[in-house]
Structure formats: C-alpha cells, structure tokens
C-alpha cells in the first residue's frame, strides 16, 4: 500500500506538471553486492560473511515540474534494498526562484551536513562505491521545513550561501538500542564556494534541540532516579538537549588528479552522546575511464566518563554503576578506515565500482572487520 501510494503521488505530480508547464523526470540507482571478508559484521552496512545483494542497492525516481516562471515542485522517491525496496519520499518541496541569485524551498529537503549531501544516494556523483562511513554516518539526512539561498560570483569565483530551518522525526539505533528521535528548532547555515572548475570549498553549521526515546533505557533511568541520582538520569536522558554540528570540506579536481578532504565535529550537551570528531582524505588519479582511489578515515568518539563518576563507587551501587557505565561507554569509538576503490566509467551515465575497506577499532567492545563490495551505478 505504501509503495502504491508513493508511486501514485509521483505519477499525479508528473501528470499535473505536464499539463501545466514543463516536467523533468530523472532517476538514479545502484545494484551492489558485498560481503565481510574478515570479521563478523561491517559498520554502516548489513554485510556479514555471506554475500548480500540488497543492503546498498537502491532505485530512485525524481520529478520536477515548473508551475510558472518562478515556482516549481519537486518530488524524489527512493526505494532502498535494506528497506525491502519500500519507497519513501526523500524530497518533496515547492521551490521559488526569485532571480538575481535568490531562491527558497518549502517541504522535505536534504540536511546540508556534508560536501555530498545533495547527492548522498547518487552513487554516480562521487568516486567511491559509498561515501566514507567515518563521516557519513548521521542518524538522519532529511528535514521538513524551509530554506533560502543566495548565489553570487566574481570572476572565476562562485559562491552559494544558504540558511535552513525545520524539524526531523524518525527511528534510529543508539548504543545498539532501538529508539525514536525528534529534532526541534533545527536551524543552520552553509556556504559553498568554487574556483574555476577545479576547487570546491564548503562550510556548514547546524544546531537543534535533540530528544531521543529509547524505551530499553527506561528501567535504568527509573532506577537512578529512585535511588536519588536524578542528576545522573538527566545526564543520560535526551530531552530537548542542545546539539550542534560543524562541517568543513575541500575538493581539488584538476587534470587527472582528485583530492577530497572532509572534517566534522558533533556535540550534544547534557546527554551521554559522545563528542564526535570525524574526518577523511581521499586521493585518486584518472587513467582514461578508470580511476583508482585510496581513502584514509578516522572516527574519534569520546565517551563521557564524568557521568559515571557522578555515582559513588561503593558496593551497594556496584550494579547500578556497572549498568550506567555500560550505556555511557558504549558510545566510545576509536576507529580507522583504509579504503581502496576502483571506478570504471563504461558510459556517460553508467559506472562500475569496486571497494575493499579495512576497519580497525581500538575500542575493545567493537571488533575489526574487512569488507569487499562491487556494484553498478547509473543515472537516467
């Protein structure tokens, strides 16, 4: 039913905009097969020792219709293999082009976290089989709300500055526990700058009030409050806690050389969410239609042991302290990724890709793993 409803809405939009002005129908997708070659599971994927053909596969269809010279409507539906190819709206917004560089949107849009946020699932748009998971691991990628942008240029320089505001609600997994998430008062600013056709720079800042409900944590929170440690329960719980994200990126694409780097820093106050600093650097070189690349990436998630220290280290509280420590320290992560990729552009809109990634983690609770995946990515 969900699948038929999504496709029906998209078809109605296409029919309506065709009758009105002009309509553009485009799409993209990828078929990917992957497996874990060493270890039991690979972070950011559903891969294990068996070959999986669905987890990173997807198909998407996008319709954009001009309502008049200034207004347009855009809808993008994505069907992901990991969700059994059930389609959902990734984008659904009305856009306004005011001329002289001004534009605005209202509806469901992509959160401008990263260098490749707008092309997050368009595998053809970037060199890797998947964006580096060390950085591209946000618990959500869309928001419902408003955005406005201003574009301007001078000589070989061109810049786009935008602001966003809205909210997000959805499901997630935190500390290996199922939960629901609500981000209110989501606001942010971003700036993209390009020089000539080979240098791209980006900066972004976003903040929100973060609330997370993980029902599996309720017994611990109740026990802490019941034993007189409400301050510890509040330090663990997420209830409209202030969170902020900072992102910086640079890309050099000159001649046959490609160099990309990205750095992000995320914090949530008054919650046990670890302070996260994450970054990667990718280098690649084109040999005609072929491009091998190598990526080094890091995830430094610093847990907050100060929360555990709020509980006295005495025998009567040993069980409560151990349970608290288990939750807090589950956020700790000290991981390194080495990825070796190969891209072959077999046509102007089709590429074959392969990726071998080694994941090592100095946190005792998380096992190392290696993965191998191959796929075909395309646009139409």
Residue 364: pLDDT above 90? no
Spatial contact of 163 and 189, defined as CB atoms under 8 Å apart = yes
Residue 373, both tokens: 């995946």
- Computed from CA positions of residues 105, 111, 113, 116, in that sequence, does the dihedral angle turn out positive or negative? negative
62-82 CB burial, b ≥16 within 10 A, e <16:
bbbbbeeeeebbbbbbbbbbe
pLDDT digits (tens, 9 = 90+) for 264-296: 999 999 999 999 999 999 999 999 999 999 999
Q: Which of 92, 222, 101, 229 is nearest to 166 (CA)?
A: 92
With left for phi above 0 and alpha for psi between -120 and 50, is residue 292 left, alpha or beta?
Answer: beta
Round to whole Å and give the CA distance between 210 and 241. 5
pLDDT digits (tens, 9 = 90+) for 163-190: 999 999 999 888 778 899 999 999 999 9
Per-residue pLDDT at 335: 96
Spatial contact of 252 and 282, defined as CB atoms under 8 Å apart = no
pLDDT digits (tens, 9 = 90+) for 183-233: 999 999 999 999 999 999 999 999 999 999 999 999 999 999 999 999 999
Cβ neighbors of 348 (< 8 A, separation 6 or more) are none
CATH code reported for the domain at 98-379: 2.40.160.10
Per-residue pLDDT at 176: 77
Round to whole Å and give the CA distance between 73 and 64. 6
| Cα within 13 Å of Cα(139), Cβ side | 21
Q: How much is the pTM?
A: 0.91
- Output phi, psi for 222, to 5 deg: -65, -45
Per-residue pLDDT at 172: 86
Domain chopping of the chain, boundaries: 98-379
Q: Name the average pLDDT for the chain.
A: 93
């Amino acid at each position: 039913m969900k699948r038929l409803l999504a496709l029906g809405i998209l078809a109605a939009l296409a029919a309506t905009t065709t009758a009105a002005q002009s309509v553009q129908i485009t799409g993209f997708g990828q078929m990917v097969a992957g497996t874990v070659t060493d270890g039991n599971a690979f972070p950011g994927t559903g891969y294990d020792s068996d070959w999986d053909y669905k987890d990173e596969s997807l198909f998407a269809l996008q319709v954009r219709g001009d309502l008049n010279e200034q207004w347009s409507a855009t809808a993008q539906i994505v069907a992901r293999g990991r969700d059994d190819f059930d389609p959902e709206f990734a984008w659904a917004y009305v856009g306004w082009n005011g001329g002289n560089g001004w534009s605005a949107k209202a509806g469901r849009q992509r959160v401008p976290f990263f260098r490749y946020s707008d092309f997050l699932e368009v595998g053809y748009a970037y060199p890797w089989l998947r964006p580096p998971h060390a950085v591209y691991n946000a618990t959500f990628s869309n928001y419902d709300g408003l955005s406005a942008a201003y574009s301007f240029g001078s000589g070989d320089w061109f810049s786009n500055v935008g602001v966003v505001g809205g909210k997000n609600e959805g499901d997630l997994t935190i500390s290996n526990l199922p939960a629901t998430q609500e981000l209110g008062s989501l606001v942010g600013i971003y700036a993209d700058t390009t020089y000539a056709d080979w240098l791209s720079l980006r900066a972004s800042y976003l903040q929100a009030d973060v609330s997370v409900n993980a029902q599996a944590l309720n017994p611990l929170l109740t026990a802490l409050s019941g034993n007189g440690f409400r301050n510890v329960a509040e330090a663990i719980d997420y209830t409209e806690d202030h969170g902020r994200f900072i992102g910086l990126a640079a890309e050099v694409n000159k001649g046959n050389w490609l160099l990309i780097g990205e750095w992000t820093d995320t914090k949530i106050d008054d919650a046990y969410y670890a302070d996260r600093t994450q970054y990667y650097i990718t280098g690649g070189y084109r040999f005609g239609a072929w491009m091998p690349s190598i990526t080094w990436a890091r995830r430094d998630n610093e847990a907050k042991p100060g929360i555990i220290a709020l509980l006295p280290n005495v025998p009567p509280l040993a069980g409560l302290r151990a349970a608290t420590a288990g939750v807090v320290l589950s956020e700790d992560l000290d991981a390194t990724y080495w990825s070796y990729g190969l891209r072959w552009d077999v046509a102007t809109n089709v590429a074959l890709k392969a990726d071998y990634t080694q994941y090592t983690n100095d946190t005792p609770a998380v096992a190392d793993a290696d993965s191998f995946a191959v796929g075909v990515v395309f646009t139409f």
